[in-house]
Amino acid sequence: MLEATALAIAALAQPIVICYLIVGTIVGLVFGVLPGLGGVVALTISLPFTFGMKPIHAMFLYSGIMGSITFGGSISAVLLNTPGTAHNAATCIDGYPMTQAGQGAKAVGIAATASGFGAFFGVFVLLGLIPIVRRVVLAFGPPEVFSLVLFGLVTVAFASRGNIIKGLAVGGLGVLLSLIGFSEVSASLRFTMGSDYLWDGIPLVPFLVGLFALSELVRYMIRGGTVVTASKIESRGGAWEGFIEVFRHKLLFLRCSSLGTIIGIIPGVGATVANFLAYTMAVQTCKNPETFGKGDPRGIVAAESANNAKDGGALLPTVGFGVPGSAEMVVLLGAFILHGLVPGPLLMRDHLDLVMAIILGLVLSNIFASTFGLIGANTLARLTFIRVSYIIPFLMALCFLAVYAIRQQPMDLAQLVVWGFFGYAMSVFDYPKVCLVIGYVLGVIAENNFHLSLMIGYGSPTVFFTRPISLVLLIGIALVIGVPLVRNWRKK
């Protein structure tokens, strides 16, 4: 392993490799900030350009993109209440209220610091777990994944503090929306209303961009003024204050980073689940939980540390035996094949230097991206003081362009408009949009793993209680529901 690390460092000493890493970092930031694009699109577009490159050079380019994409998404989530990627949806809950209070620079500083150190945490865990990766990943089968996702669905009731009924109702609607389309289990079409377009279900990008971005633009048009409701930025040292804020909550950071790494290891779950679970864990375990959702810095620390720590965890099954730990890792597997590499034990045995190149690239990319965030936080925050009448045409054109560029489907634009006005109506009537996203993202994962679990258990639901990890997760669900009830009972 030391020899492989030395080879990766030696490659990094070449100026051309540093350039590839910096270019990857910039691409990741841009694609992260732009709503609806994200890491999968950035990696996919970069694939043709790496054809003919040395594999180790290409790995540094890919790791630069993967390392910066999530932080890029947090910038638009904090400043515009528009998550650049689905991974940053929970960051909006407290990040945007801080921006409205004139603390946008501090919020960006928190996101930059939590993102960077969260990624370091995940990478260090990756280095420690490489020898036992196979055993760790194989411990999670469909029953365990279903129990974990069920744990995430429970967060619907608590992500909208103060209005649990609305949260549950909207979360249930999200689950129903996730069931639209062709069912692989029953081999039948559900809720498509005879439309061929809905065979694949509701597309994620128009759904998210419409629900968060377009709905906010509609609200800005009606309200006028600026994004920020405060009269000035609260402090010129906001970015540095955000850096310090993460260390004030170091135990929360460690808990959420650990959770993000574990979720990253589990194939097919991804950073969106880590984002919401970490946020909910913060709400349940921190003092004064009533301040969450109103601009509490702890919400950003929890969400951003978890969704960046997942990268290290997601690499474990990907390089260990060719099972992608996230959507980005699916594209990375394609990159391996493009360069003549076979993911799995042979990659770990014969090309460990390439694995170490990806790990070093992730670390350096996060350093570059977080440094940019800390240095540029005050400048970025000032953008929110521009009158919305100046920025709405540009942002609205960007939303339509981003949605159309993914699949070139005119119906995607219609979806964007529908969900934009639906999201605005939810804001007017005070229904939590975050809960709708939770239900939508986790619903189909829960359904698939539920059916697979029943097949494993020959139709008996006892399979969820006879497997230790699944049982522990179900007990955790009971505690998540029970602890707040007991706490309220004691207060009364």
Q: What percent of the chain has pLDDT over 70?
A: 78
CA distance readout (Å), 80 to 104, 381, 491: 10, 10, 37
Query: Is 60 exceeded by the pLDDT of residue 161?
Result: no
Give residue 421's pLDDT band: very low, low, confident or very high (50, 70, 90): very high
**For 127-154, what is each residue's pLDDT tens digit?**
777 666 556 556 777 888 788 777 767 7
**For 45-97, what is each residue's pLDDT tens digit?**
677 677 777 887 888 888 888 878 878 878 878 877 777 676 777 788 888 88
Q: Which of the pair, 142 or 346, is modelled with greater confidence?
A: 142
Q: For residue 336, what are the domain limits? A: 2-491
Task: Share the mean pLDDT of the chain.
Answer: 76
Measured between alpha carbons, how far is 367 from 384 in angstroms, rounded to an integer? 25
Helix axes 142-154, 468-491, angle to 10 degrees: 20
| Structural domain count, the chain | 1
Give residue 155's pLDDT band: very low, low, confident or very high (50, 70, 90): low
Give residue 422's pLDDT band: very low, low, confident or very high (50, 70, 90): very high
Please report the pLDDT score of residue 327 as a whole number. 62
Please report the pLDDT score of residue 417 as a whole number. 92
Give residue 104's pLDDT band: very low, low, confident or very high (50, 70, 90): confident
- Report pTM: 0.64
In the DSSP assignment, the letter for residue 88 is G
- In 83-214, where does DSSP find H-type helix? 91-100, 104-129, 133-138, 142-154, 156-159, 164-178, 204-208
- Helix or strand (DSSP H, E) at 381: helix 352-382
Query: Is 70 exceeded by the pLDDT of residue 374?
Result: yes
The dihedrals phi and psi of 53, each to the nearest 5 degrees, come to: -70, 160
Mean pLDDT of 355-363: 79
Three-class SS state of 181: strand
